[in-house]
Amino acid sequence: MTEMIDAALVWFRRDLRCDDHAALYYALKSARKVWCAFVLDTDILDALPRQDRRVTFILRSLQELHDGLTQATGGLGGLMVRHGSAVTEIPKLAAQLGVQAVFANHDDEPAALTRDAAVRGRLSDQGMALYTTKDHVIFERNEVLTGQGTPYGVFTPYKNAWLKKIDSFYLKGYPVEHYTAALAPVAADLAGWQVGKPVVPTEKDIGFEPCDDLKISPGMSGARALLADFLPRLDQYHETRDFPSVKGPSYLSTHLRFGTISIRELARLAHERAQNRSEGAQIWLSELIWRDFYHQILFHHPHVVGHSYKREYDRIKWAHGAHANAHFKAWCEGLTGYPLVDAAMRQLNQTGYMHNRLRMVTASFLTKDLGIDWRKGEAYFAEKLLDYDLAANNGGWQWAASTGCDAQPWFRIFNPISQSKKFDPTGKFIRRYVPELADLPDAAIHAPWLGGFQVKGYPRPIVDHDEARADTLKRFDVVKKA
């Protein structure tokens, strides 16, 4: 936009912060008056279980976002929260405010693109525009392409192109703080999520049960605290990241998912240290690049939602029926008889988080030891993970199942016992989440049955790994020449 408009609305979605925020920056630069809103979208919420950690995280983060916007306006402005379908609520609010445009950041999930198209159409009918911009990743859509102008399907050349293109321009933040004078006061009849109500509803207000065991501090302040804790450990990240009993990861994935911290800030910190030859920073930066990679895969290949990236892999006949259902239930509950797998699944069920190494181990076990369709595991993670992100979750599951882009070869199958010995050598992580095994010696805790131990209340393995591996190799016969 080149001409100033009188009024604009910023529609917050997966970007719950009021600093280094692309849509907010462009709105403040483009309009004399700017309001801010978030919709608790019933089109999304109605599909969730009635107690969901993500709802609690969002509500608490919204309160902090409201407080931040209020402070920026000297107590006059703030956030407007609505509960309903965004397709209805955003055009309605835009009409009530009399704005000329709505600003938002891109969301490239297929359902979000459909939603945004519907909102854009309704706004257009009202004589208003919807402007969206990049904010959630460093490079998106068509910004990193092959020499032939096609999207990458293999990570390493994508990463090399990403690193070749990156410079200070792409890493610099949006100086929102210089333009907050344009934030407008909120009229009393528009301030609450309902007239006369507080700005941010409680879980019960919107039909959910509170989640009192949230294991992560929400909001911008929660992200800041985690980043401050991680930076002194960053240079050792490459040495610690694979061990679930060690404080190795940044634990910022949930904050990145909901945008309570800027990806540009994190990538800038990682890139600067990587340039100074910090191996830990180089590996962490690579993880952030994987995030970009999976988002551009989702944008260019939306069929991955529900189908294999490699379409011929949809021919695989996964295990099904009562026996497979019982195995899936045991996997979900952490009762497979393989201690590391069970500890990981219990961590997920109890906390909403799973260590990244263990995401690979549990996904490999479900698909290649139990022979169960990766889509069932993907859906279970989607329900349980606090940091659930469609692009990353789908990419990770298809990688483990060997159906995705740049995937683990179909014949490479994680041995859950070897993984346990390598990444939890003393069983510290296992003991925390599978207390039935706490008294076993270190040497026996990875596979109690091999040491002759039978632990009351803990099952024997539901499958034999070697036999399951042979079955998996047969299962992939239909595609091994693809």
Q: Is 31 left (phi over 0), alpha (psi -120 to 50) or beta?
A: beta
Per-residue pLDDT tens, the chain, 482 aa: give them.
568 999 999 999 999 999 999 999 999 999 999 999 999 999 999 999 999 999 999 999 999 999 999 998 888 889 999 999 999 999 999 999 999 999 999 999 999 999 999 999 999 999 999 999 999 999 999 999 999 999 999 999 999 999 999 999 999 999 999 999 999 999 999 998 888 899 999 999 999 999 988 889 999 999 999 999 999 999 999 999 999 999 999 999 999 999 999 999 999 999 999 999 999 999 999 999 999 999 999 999 999 999 999 999 999 999 999 999 999 999 999 999 999 999 999 999 999 999 999 999 999 999 999 999 999 999 999 999 999 999 999 999 999 999 988 767 778 899 999 999 999 999 999 999 999 999 999 999 999 999 889 899 999 999 999 999 999 999 998 887 65
For the chain, what are the domain ranges?
A: 1-135, 137-173+221-300, 311-477
d(CA 424, CA 211): 30
pLDDT at 2: 61
Beta-bridged to residue 200, according to DSSP, are none
pLDDT at 481: 60
pLDDT at 417: 97
Question: Residue 283 is encoded by which pair of tokens?
Answer: 């590996």
Inter-residue contact 73 to 185 (CB < 8 Å):
yes
pLDDT at 213: 86
Residue 228: exposure state from Cβ atoms within 10 A (0-12, 13-18, ≥19): exposed
Question: Residue 482 is encoded by which pair of tokens?
Answer: 């693809």
Domain 311-477, what fold?
DNA Cyclobutane Dipyrimidine Photolyase, subunit A; domain 3 (1.10.579)
Question: Residue 47 is encoded by which pair of tokens?
Answer: 């599909």
d(CA 365, CA 324): 13
Please work out, in degrees rounded to the nearest 5, the angle formed at the alpha carbon of residue 57 by the alpha carbons of 56 and 59.
65
CB-side neighbour CA atoms (13 Å) of 158:
26
Q: Which residues lie below 8 Å from residue 480, measured CB to CB, with a gap of 6+?
A: 410, 411
Please report which residue ranges of 259-389 form alpha helices under DSSP H. Answer: 263-275, 279-300, 322-333, 339-351, 356-364, 374-384
Question: Residue 243 is encoded by which pair of tokens?
Answer: 């061990």
Domain 1-135, what fold?
Rossmann fold (3.40.50)
Supply the pTM of this predicted model.
Answer: 0.95
Q: Which residues are part of the catalytic machinery?
A: 287, 290, 318, 356, 374, 397
Q: Which residues lie below 8 Å from residue 215, measured CB to CB, with a gap of 6+?
A: 351, 352, 353, 386
137-173+221-300 shares the fold of 1-135: no
The sign of the torsion formed by the CA atoms of 453, 457, 458, 462 equals positive
Number of Cβ within a 10 Å radius of residue 425: 14
Domain 137-173+221-300, what fold?
1.25.40
Inter-residue contact 82 to 38 (CB < 8 Å):
yes
